[in-house]
Structure formats: structure tokens, C-alpha cells
Structure 1
Amino acid sequence: MSGPGKGPDEADEGQCDSGIESWRSLRSLPEPPLSPGPADAGPPRPSEQDGGERADSACGASWLGPGGPEARLGPLGPQQLEALTYISEDGDTLLHLAVIHEAPTVLLCCLALLPQEVLDIQNDLFQTALHLAVYLDQPHTVQALVQKGASRTLQDRHGDTALHLACQYQHLDCARYLLEATSDRGRNQHHHPELQLQNWQGLACLHLATLQRNRQLMELLLQNGVDIDIQEGTSGKTALHLAVETQDRALVHFLLRAGARVDARMHNGCTPLHLAAGRHLSDIAATLCQAGADSLLRNVEDETPQDLAEDPLTLLPFDDLKISGKPLLCTD
């Protein structure tokens, strides 16, 4: 999924799509031996849509039931077999391309005929078809892939699982389909290991949802058994620490009501109250104190929240929140 004209080591950091230049190759592939009805026709291809708008692929789970493609496909000929094993110069399989270009009939054929292992092939950016379906906000494609057994724990080049992407880009419906697949086995971290995985920045899904201030996503993760006090990997902050750093009092209150530990400690011993006091966020500090925060706990520098509140020069060392790599300066 690297951009045109770039070498293998020059992938644009902002790119999350691949195989766009492969559309001509995809269209030249032989048609699958299907006779789709109106429901299988799907939306127009990207090149045929007005104004470049993208429609949903509508590849729902109904494809996978009785009378689906398995019942209608005959033996594969050499051309069909070659088409199904196609791989682009970016490492995209036909399944990747079907998601990228929203070709539901091709996707249907792939899901019906390709073995389990093919669902989890990663392209040159370590993205699976499931990663792409989430990034492009195609919830029904996500549902179909998950029901066919696509892995939800594989990580892309940034360490993100499909659920990380759903939280980062706030694609709530995609997140629901990713998490509901094992709801019949119980909702806990044992059956949703992706809830515990950190990306290469040390962030778990709950941390991303918190930084986006998306309470619907946070509620969904909590309902499915995420540890509300899970620590991120760089400094040991919990979601409550991050909520304080976003200076969102309502979000802090939400996490406290949901059971967040008010005196959770970072690796340096700081509690959320330390952060609120260090940033002189009096309203948030009051909310934490009302929830029982201990104002006398000491961090590794032997400082209490009271010490930080009394010394305005302590503001800067705690001002470490960054967005897109740039520091976020706190203001009164």
C-alpha cells in the first residue's frame, strides 16, 4: 500500500490505503462463476460514483448462510485459480483489493473459496483485509471477515490491531462487530485478547478511545471486559490519567463512576491527582478528591499533590501530553 513512485522503504506515513493503482489489474481478472442477484450487485465501483463518494460494501453475513456462494460455485478452472491467488506489487491479495475497491462479489467469492490462512495474509504494511475494512469503515465487511475467522490480534506496522484502528478513527459499528463475535462465550479479556494488546506507542484500545473522548467506544470496551485500569506502556498511565490530561472533567467523572481506581499510579508514582494538581486543574482535582483521592500520596520525587499545587513551576514537567508528536501546552 505504498504510494506510486515510492521505493519499498519510502512509504508515506500518512497512507493507509493500498492497491489503488491495482484497480486495472483487479478489473482484468476473470469473473467468478456466479450469477448474482440484485442483492449481490453491491455499490458502484469508486471510479463510477459521483463526486468520489464511497458507499458501504454491504457484504453482510447473509452471504455465508445456506444457499450462499458455496452452494453455487462449481469447480475452479485455471483462470479462476490464478485470479484467487493474485498478489499485487504492494503485497495485497485479491481479498485486500476487494475491500479497498468495494467489490462485494469478488469479496464473496474470496470468502467462499479461499482457505482460512489467506484471510490473515498481511501486505507490505502488515495490514490484513480486516485492518483495511475497519480503516475504510465497512462494518458489514468486518462482520463477514470476523465470522469467517479472520484474526483480530494481528498488528500492522504501527502495532495497531483492527480494534485499535476502530478506536483511533472512532468507527463504532466496526468495533461492535469486532467485539461481538465471541459474545456467546462470555465477555472478558480471555476471549478478547486484543483488548490488552498495546501498539508500538504503548497504547491499548481503551487509551485511544479515551484520548478521542469517545464515551460510546469506552462503554463498549468496558462492557466487553477491558481492564479499566490498564496501563499504557511508556509511563504507566491509566485511562483516568489520560482523561485528566485531556482536561475533560466529564470524562474523568465518567471513568470514576465506571470504577476507575482514583489513586492508580504511573511508573513514577504519580496519581491522577498529581497530574491535575501539577496542571492546576482545580475543578478536576476537586472531582478526584470527592471520589476519595489521597492528596498525601508521594511520587518517586517525594512530592504530594499538595506540593505540586503550591508550586507553579511544577507545571512544565507534567506537561507531556502530545498530539501527532507535538506537545499540547496547557492554558488557564
Structure 2
Amino acid sequence: RKLIDGDDAPDWGCLLDWKNSQGATSLHAACQEGHAECAAMLIDAGASVDALDSEGGTPLLSACRYGRVRCVEVLIKEGASTKHFDSAHGATALHVASQSGFTACVEQLLASNADPSAIDGDGATALHIAAYQGHAKCVRLLLDAGASTAAKYCGKRPVTWARKAHSYECADMLEAAAAGADEEDDSTSEEEENDDNEGAEGNDGRETSASGESAPSLSTDAAAESPSPQPRGVKSMLDGMMGTLEAKGITG
């Protein structure tokens, strides 16, 4: 706050949306680390709420990947888009939060008109992803928001992907939802009926089924790797910002 509001503070306009080598801004960094108050101050000072990093990720995607629900609340309040697709996976914030099972983030996004039927760059909905990952609470929230139980990814419905991953609580929930859904056409293919194989690791680093299909997952190590480049850390970002100030002759 002192840096932004101090009497001797320089014009920070050139730095609020300064980007590091991965294209991330200070708002991305604040949201990644869960600093909601800092995020709010940066936005109040003029930081772009939907700034894009080098792979099309917004601060909202950063917050959802790490389960920073307070940052999600701040960003949405300030008008962040819940419908943006990143360029790395064609994923929305809802896909990202569903991947890691961050229920509070999923709930906040759905309450803010995130589209539960949106498909990512591979054709998966958030429901496919949550079902495959075994996140039953997220599955329930998505179903309550109207997510389709009949949508198919690689020819298979969410319930089939849940079975393939042995996520039986999710599978039972999806079967019950499909039974009363008008959209369900009851046309389960022979492949779906017989395909209850456990996932295996594919050569391309993506999780695949035994038949070689890519599973509905943003990445196999999503808990450790972001779907978009993230800041290297607050210190390196501040060092870079100070370097920019010096280059502009603003500091001594």
C-alpha cells in the first residue's frame, strides 16, 4: 500500500501490468499466493483484472488453480471474466478448479454464471474432469448447475470416465442424475458398457486409458504444474519491476 499510495510514490501505471518472463503480472502473483488484499489494492490502482500471461491465463485461472477462493471472490467482484479460455488447454477457470477439486472455487464460479457446459480444447467439460478425478462434491455442484450428463468426451459420458477411474461415488451420482434427465437418450454404446479399464500413463505425458485415449484431465501432474505459466515468485517479480524503474530513471 505504501508503494502505491505513498506521497513520494512514482507513477506506477507502467508497472501495474508489468510482466515477467512468463508473461505474468503482479496481479497473477498475488492471486497465485492467495493475497486477496494485495489483489484488491492492485485492481484499485488500475491493474488489469483480465491480464493474460504468455499462455493466455488470467489471474482468475491462477487463483482457481491454487484454490484461492478469497482472490476468486475479489476478482469476480471486480468484473473478471468467468468465461475466458486459456490458450494452453482451451480451459476455463471452472475446468481448472474442477481439476483439483477446489469446491469453494467451483461454487463461487457457478454462482457467478460460469458455464458448466463449456468444453475445453480437447472437448471435455468440467463435469468430465471432476468425475474422472473423483471430486464428488464438485460433481454435485456441477450437476446442480445443469451440467450435462450426456455430453461425450472421446465418445464417453462423464459416468463412463468416472467408472474408468474407479470413482464410484461420482459414478453413482451421475447415474442417478442421468436416470431422471430428459437429455439422456439411454444410448450407451457397447464400447462404453465394456470399457471400464483403469487409466495408464501415456507416452505424451497426458493420462490415457488402456485403449490409448486421452483422459479428461488438463495434465497428469496438474496439482504441481499450472495450465498456464505462473510467476517465479514475489522477489524475482519485484527485482524485475525495480529494474524497469531504474531503466526509466524513476529511482536512484
Does the pair score TM above 0.5?
yes
1:323 maps to which residue?
220
Which residue identity lines up with residue 297 of structure 1 in the other structure? Answer: S
1:237 aligns with 2:124: yes
Residue 83 (structure 2) aligned to one of 195, 198, 213: 195
2:148 maps to which residue?
261
Within a 5 Å distance, the mapping from 1:150-189 to structure 2 comes to 150-182=47-79
1:121 maps to which residue?
18
Deviation at 1:225, TM superposition (A): 1.2
Q: Which runs of 5+ in 1 are unaligned?
A: 1-103, 183-191, 327-332
Structure 1 pair 135/260, CA: closer, same or farther in 2 (3 Å)? same
Q: Greater relative contact order: 1 or 2 (C-alpha under 8 angstroms, separation 6 or more)? A: 2
Within a 5 Å distance, the mapping from 1:304-315 to structure 2 comes to 304-309=191-196
Identity among equivalent pairs (%): 25
Q: 1:112, 1:194 → 2: CA distance?
A: 33
Within a 5 Å distance, the mapping from 1:81-100 to structure 2 comes to none
Q: 2:8, 2:29 → 1: CA distance?
A: 15
1:107 aligns with 2:29: no
Residue 178 (structure 2) aligned to one of 279, 292, 298: 292
Within a 5 Å distance, the mapping from 1:28-43 to structure 2 comes to none
Kept in 1, the 8 Å contact 2:140–2:173? The answer is yes
TM-score with structure 1 length normalisation?
0.54
Q: CA RMSD in A?
A: 3.2
Q: Which runs of 5+ in 2 are unaligned?
A: 200-207, 224-252
Kept in 2, the 8 Å contact 1:210–1:218? The answer is yes
Kept in 2, the 8 Å contact 1:232–1:238? The answer is yes
Deviation at 1:291, TM superposition (A): 0.8
Report how many residues are paired: 208
Structure 1 pair 239/111, CA: closer, same or farther in 2 (3 Å)? farther
1:274 aligns with 2:160: yes
1:132 maps to which residue?
29
The 10-residue stretch of structure 1 (196-205 or 286-295) with the greater mean CA deviation from structure 2 = 286-295
- Of structures 1 and 2, the larger Rg is shown by 1
Q: 1:306, 1:110 → 2: CA distance?
A: 69
1:222 maps to which residue?
110
Which residue identity lines up with residue 159 of structure 1 in the other structure? Answer: G
Q: 1:325, 1:204 → 2: CA distance?
A: 14
